[in-house]
Amino acid sequence: GQNIDQPTEMTATEGAIVQINCTYQTSGFNGLFWYQQHAGEAPTFLSYNVLDGLEEKGRFSSFLSRSKGYSYLLLKELQMKDSASYLCAVPGGYQKVTFGTGTKLQVIP
């Protein structure tokens, strides 16, 4: 089976940097996804990591350590519109994706 843990809520200040952690346990590893979900909206794809290390995409970066079962999403230069839930997810076979319960990020002025 698969199990994912991430913090329930975080608060950060506009312009700052925030790191959202995710730990996972999986019987077979097929990579790790991060999704962003604004309240009342559908999740949108942010990143997919399958190899160890940091991948950067503009203000967002995602890190993976397969040996530690650990990933984080790094958001730089926070903006108010970044207030959302961030979902960590690990795929099984044939699109059977297990999602964490999500980290609700609140960005304050």
Partner 1 sequence: KAGVTQTPRYLIKTRGQQVTLSCSPISGHRSVSWYQQTPGQGLQFLFEYFSETQRNKGNFPGRFSGRQFSNSRSEMNVSTLELGDSALYLCASSTGLAGGGGPDTQYFGPGTRLTVL
29 close to 66: Cβ distance less than 8 angstroms: yes
- The window from 19-27, 65-73, 75-83, 94-102 that contacts partner 1 (CB under 8 A) reads 94-102
- Considering only residues 15 through 34, tell me which ones interact with partner 1, judged by CB under 8 A: 30-31, 33
SS3 82: helix
As measured in angstroms, the least distance from the Cβ of 48 to partner 1 is 6
Minimum CB distance to partner 1 smaller for 36 or for 78:
36
As measured in angstroms, the least distance from the Cβ of 43 to partner 1 is 5
1 close to 96: Cβ distance less than 8 angstroms: no
- With the CA atoms of 61, 39, 96 and 4 taken in that order, what torsion angle do they form, in degrees rounded to the nearest 10? 60
Q: Which of 58, 81, 95, 109 binds partner 1 (CB under 8 A)?
A: 95
- Contact letters for partner 1, residues 36-55 (x by CB under 8 A): -----xxxxx--x-------
The Cα–Cα gap between 63 and 31 comes to 11
Strand 103-108 relative to strand 9-13: parallel, antiparallel, unpaired?
parallel
- Contact residues toward partner 1 (CB under 8 A) are 30-31, 33, 41-45, 48, 87, 89, 91-102
